[in-house]
Amino acid sequence: MVENCFGGSGQPLAVPGRVLVGEGVLTKMCRKKPKPRQFFLFNDILVYGNIVINKKKYNKQHIIPLEEVKLESLADEGQYRNGWLIKTVTKSFAVYAATPTEKQEWMAHITKCIEDLLRKSGKKPVEVHAAVWVPDNEATICMHCNKTQFTVLNRRHHCRQCGAVVCGPCSNKKLLLPGQGNGKAVRVCLQCYDAASKIKAIPTTAGDGLNNKDPQRNNSADSSGGDSSGDEDDGNKEENHDEPKFYSTLGR
């Protein structure tokens, strides 16, 4: 059913042992503004996409392995309430539920799926996660030099290491970051670049990844190395959605 809703734009989802745990609409904080996204929670992956026709058609499918996910609750602030961070190696972002109860249900079910996966696989939780990008509208000037004002000509860029909104001259350096850029260096701000360079200069043990030829530390928000979050343009205008549905109970 989920595969059919994504049509040809989505990847096959049916694999042995995979179970649909729950589904519903969450508000995702995108680069430009918050937007509704349809989420499907399976016992091993989290899938989300743009809503074309509610309950019938979605596009721009994103698949997140739950073994890489770390959740972090957000405090209510202004218009943004009932939110939490979904942090992964390649991309991290904030989502918001309609009510506190929905937030608790989503976080509890995702956490249970992660714990079950790690227990069965014997793997340890991933420690390095991507930075959460600061939304464009929260920065009218460069967050590095505090001088450059963003205009049509002076466009915004995001540091893949810290997520700050910076101008071109303040982000003209690149670093290799874990899980980012398909093996290619990605854009970082001068502050993060300088910090990584200083770490590289300090003698470390052979097992320290920061002593490699290409300096890397943690965090980035876009695995492609581009400036877009990858799911900005959808033209969706729907605002009212049903409550999420969960198909399993949280047993001890």
- Determine the Cα–Cα distance for residues 119 and 133; give it in Å rounded to an integer: 31
| pLDDT-derived band at 62, boundaries 50, 70, 90 | very high
Residue 100 identity (one-letter amino acid): P
Lowest mean pLDDT, pick from 83-97, 142-156, 222-236? 222-236
Output the pLDDT for position 116.
96
Place of tokens 């696989």: 121
Output the pLDDT for position 132.
92
Task: Specify the CATH architecture of the domain 2-129.
Answer: Roll (2.30)
| Domain boundaries for CATH 3.30.40.10 within the chain | 136-201
| pLDDT-derived band at 235, boundaries 50, 70, 90 | low
Q: What angle do CA 230, 63, 229 make, to 5 degrees?
A: 15
Q: Nearest Cα to 20, choosing from 229, 248, 251?
A: 248
Output the pLDDT for position 190.
94
| Distance of alpha carbon 183 from the chain centroid | 19
Mean per-residue pLDDT over the chain, rounded: 84
- The CATH code for residues 136-201 is 3.30.40.10
Q: Nearest Cα to 110, choosing from 86, 82, 141, 78?
A: 86
Roughly how many angstroms between the first and final C-alpha of the chain, as a whole number?
29
Q: Quick one: how many helices (H) and strands (E) in the chain?
A: 3, 12
Q: What tokens appear for 79 in the block? A: 């218009």
| pLDDT-derived band at 178, boundaries 50, 70, 90 | confident
Mean pLDDT of 10-24: 95
pTM given for the model: 0.78
- Determine the Cα–Cα distance for residues 225 and 182; give it in Å rounded to an integer: 8
Q: What tokens appear for 67 in the block? A: 């073994």
| Domain boundaries for CATH 2.30.29.30 within the chain | 2-129
Task: Report whether 75 contacts 63 (CB < 8 A).
Answer: no
- Determine the Cα–Cα distance for residues 105 and 183; give it in Å rounded to an integer: 37
Mean pLDDT of 35-42: 97
Task: Report whether 71 contacts 82 (CB < 8 A).
Answer: no
Output the pLDDT for position 137.
87
Place of tokens 């994103």: 62
Mean pLDDT of 51-71: 94
Compute the Cα dihedral for 226, 231, 237, 241 and give only its sign: negative
**% pLDDT > 70, the chain:** 83
